[in-house]
Structure 1
C-alpha cells in the first residue's frame, strides 16, 4: 500500500489562497461525450444532477430535433424528440424534471427519462407578449423556479416548478419606470423572488409592488458604462456586477456593503458569471477562468472550451467540452489536518503516522506525547477531513490515521 506521505505530497498543490480562505478546483469526471457546448443550449442540474443539451443548428434560432440528457459523467440517459417552437431556455427543478420555456410563452416539463409530464402557458400575458429571455434559479431550501422577461420588458416569476400543473403560481413583478429601453442584464433575487435589473446606467429591484432604484457605491472611473452581467448567490444575500469595461463589484444584495471591487483593465467579453456558495464568484472569459474573492484577492485558471457554470450551495460546478469540475472552498477540517505547518491535533497525528511509516518512530513518539490529551479530537478531525475530500486515495490515507490510534493509545498508556 502506498505510504501516506506519498499520497498526501500533492494534497495542497492545487489550493489557491483567496484572502482568509483557500479554493480548490477538482476534476470529477472526464466526460465521455463528444460535444461542443458553445453550439448548444445547456441546462445543468444542481447537486451533481443530469445535463441537458440542445444543439443549435443556425443563428436564426433553429434547434436540432432532440434534447439529449446525460449524466454528470457525460453518459447518455435519454433523449426528448423536439418538435416544439423556439427554445428560449431550459433548467431543472428539484424533482429532476426538465422545464423548457418556449418563445410562444409555453412551459413544458419532462422527466429525466424524456417523458412529457405536462405543457401549459406560463400565463395569459406572457403568451400574449411572448418570451424574450428567461432565468432559472434554486434556493437554499432546495426549491427552484424561473423568471421570464417578455418582449415588452415585463417580468413574471414562477417560484416553484415542482408543483402539479394546475397549481403552478405565476407572480408578476412591478413594471420598470420606462418600458421602452431593453434591460442590459437582470437576475432573480431569492428567496423573495424579486428581480434585479439594470437599464442603461440605472439599477432597480422589482418587487410585487414597485421598482426600487438602487445606488451602488463604486470607485469606477466612468459610472455611465452599463452593467453587462449580474450574478446572485444561491442564498440571495450576495450580488456581483461586471460592466463592459471589465469593472467588477461584489457585495450584499441590499447594496449597503461593498465586499470587493476591481478593474480587470480588460474589455474581453464575460461569457458567464456565477457565485460559488457565498465565498467567491467566477467569471468565464474566452481564455481565462477568473475567481474573485472578497477584498483584493483573486486567482485564475486557464480557459476551457464550452464552459458552463452551475452554482451550488457549497461551490460552483463547471462543465466544459471535456470535463466536469467543481470549484469550492477548502473546508476548515481539511485545512486543520492538511495545511502545511498546521499545529491542530489532527495534523500532528497525521504527521506522527507519516514518521512512523518512514521508520522514524522516535519522531512519531514526540508528536504523540504532544497531543496525548487530545487524541480523540485528533482522530475526529482526520475522519471529518476524509469526508470533505473527493480523491479516494486521499480519503483512505486520512482514515488510515485512525488505525494508528491503536499504536498511539498504547504508547500513551505506557507513558
Structure 2
C-alpha cells in the first residue's frame, strides 16, 4: 500500500489546522449509527442508542422489539431495556448535566432514564397543546429543552428539576423552520432561553433567522445570509453560530448574526455531516 502523506490528514479551517485520528475501535457489535438515534453525554459520558422509528430499516435477524441500549463512550454495553413507551414516534433524546436520559415522544410526553436504563417516575408532559398538535422537533441544552409543534408553536422546559412547560412567543410562521438552535438562558441578555429558527423558501429577500423568546420575536440576519440556513449550531459559550447555507457555504457568525467570522465554500449543496463545536475557535 502506498504511503499516505501525514500532511494530507490535516485540514485548514480559518487560521488553524485540524485532523481527526482514530484513537480506538468501538467494541460494540451490530450498531449502525445511520439506522439509530444516538445521544452522547458530554465529557466522555455514556451513549444512548435506539433504532430510529422514522426510518424503514432492515432488521438483519434482530428482534422487531426496539431496545434502548446504553453504552460507555468506548462502546461497552452498560444496560438495555425494551422500548414500550406509548405516545407516538420518538422525536429526540439527550442527556442532562446529571446524566439523566430525557426522551420526548410525539404527544409531548417526556420519559426519563437513569444510567442503568431504569425508567424514572413520574413521566412529564409538555402540556395539552403539545398533545393535540404533536411535537415535530426539539432542541436540548444542559438541563432544558425547547420543542416546536406541527402548528409551529414553541414550548420550553427550562429546567427538568423544576419541569414547568412554558409557551414562547408565536413566531408567526406558516411553514416549519428549516432548522432550529438554542442559546442557553445563562448566555442571553434576558436570562431566558432564546430559540433561533431559520426561515425562508430559498430566496434571498425572505431568508432570515428568527430569535424567539417568551416575550417576543426578533428578525436577524438580513442581507448577510443570502438565502436560508440549512443547519445551525450555537457554540457552548453562546457567542458564535456555525451554520451551513443553502448554497453550500460554512458560515460562522456572532450569535446575533451581526458579524461574519468565517465564510468558506464547502463545494457541496447538501449537508452530509453534522456541525459540532468540538473544535475550539480561537479568535
Superposition TM-score, scaled by structure 2 size = 0.81
Is contact 1:48-1:72 (8 Å) kept?
yes
Q: Deviations over 1:359-387 (max 9, x none)?
A: xxxxxxxxxxxxxxxxxxxxxxxxxxxxx
Report how far residue 172 of structure 1 moved. Answer: 2.0
User: 1:114: which partner in 2?
Assistant: 117
Aligned length: 257
Q: Deviations over 1:198-217 (max 9, x none)?
A: 11122110011111011245
Q: Relative CO higher for 1 or 2, CA cutoff 8 Å, sep ≥ 6?
A: 1
Distance 1:106 1:57 in 2: 17
Distance 2:275 2:102 in 1: 22
Query: Is 2:194 the partner of 1:190?
Result: no
Report how far residue 271 of structure 1 moved. Answer: 3.4
Is contact 2:48-2:69 (8 Å) kept?
yes
Cα RMSD of the aligned pairs, angstroms, is 2.7
User: 1:403: which partner in 2?
Assistant: none
User: 1:134: which partner in 2?
Assistant: 138
Q: Which structure shows the higher helix fraction?
A: 1
Q: How do residues 5-404 of structure 1 correspond to structure 2 at under 5 angstroms?
A: 18-34=13-29, 35-56=31-52, 59=55, 64-84=65-85, 85-118=88-121, 119-138=123-142, 144-161=143-160, 163=161, 167-178=162-173, 180-191=174-185, 192=188, 193-200=193-200, 201-218=207-224, 223=226, 225-276=227-278, 278-279=280-281
Is contact 1:251-1:259 (8 Å) kept?
yes
Q: Determine helix, strand or coil for the equivalent of 1:29.
A: coil
Distance 1:29 1:122 in 2: 40
Distance 1:54 1:117 in 2: 18
Q: Deviations over 1:343-363 (max 9, x none)?
A: xxxxxxxxxxxxxxxxxxxxx
Q: Deviations over 1:144-196 (max 9, x none)?
A: 322111110111122222x1xxx313232211123x21111111112342100
Is contact 1:57-1:64 (8 Å) kept?
no
Report how far residue 248 of structure 1 moved. Answer: 2.3
Report how far residue 21 of structure 1 moved. Answer: 4.1
Q: Which runs of 5+ in 1 are unaligned?
A: 1-10, 139-143, 281-293, 295-415
Is contact 2:124-2:163 (8 Å) kept?
no
Distance 1:64 1:155 in 2: 32
Q: Determine helix, strand or coil for the equivalent of 2:99.
A: coil
User: 1:409: which partner in 2?
Assistant: none
Is contact 1:88-1:133 (8 Å) kept?
yes
Report how far residue 260 of structure 1 moved. Answer: 1.0
Distance 2:220 2:131 in 1: 30
Q: Determine helix, strand or coil for the equivalent of 1:128.
A: helix
Is contact 1:53-1:67 (8 Å) kept?
yes
Q: Deviations over 1:283-321 (max 9, x none)?
A: xxxxxxxxxxx7xxxxxxxxxxxxxxxxxxxxxxxxxxx
Is contact 2:53-2:90 (8 Å) kept?
no
Measured at CA, do residues 57 and 204 of structure 1 come closer, stay the same or move farther in structure 2, by a change above 3 Å? Answer: closer
Measured at CA, do residues 58 and 278 of structure 1 come closer, stay the same or move farther in structure 2, by a change above 3 Å? Answer: closer
Report how far residue 256 of structure 1 moved. Answer: 1.9
Distance 2:138 2:242 in 1: 19
Report how far residue 28 of structure 1 moved. Answer: 4.2
Q: Deviations over 1:236-292 (max 9, x none)?
A: 110012123202221111122210112223213333112236518xxxxxxxxxxxx
User: 2:204: which partner in 1?
Assistant: none
Q: Which runs of 5+ in 2 are unaligned?
A: 1-5, 58-63, 201-206
Is contact 1:56-1:64 (8 Å) kept?
no
Q: Determine helix, strand or coil for the equivalent of 1:274.
A: coil
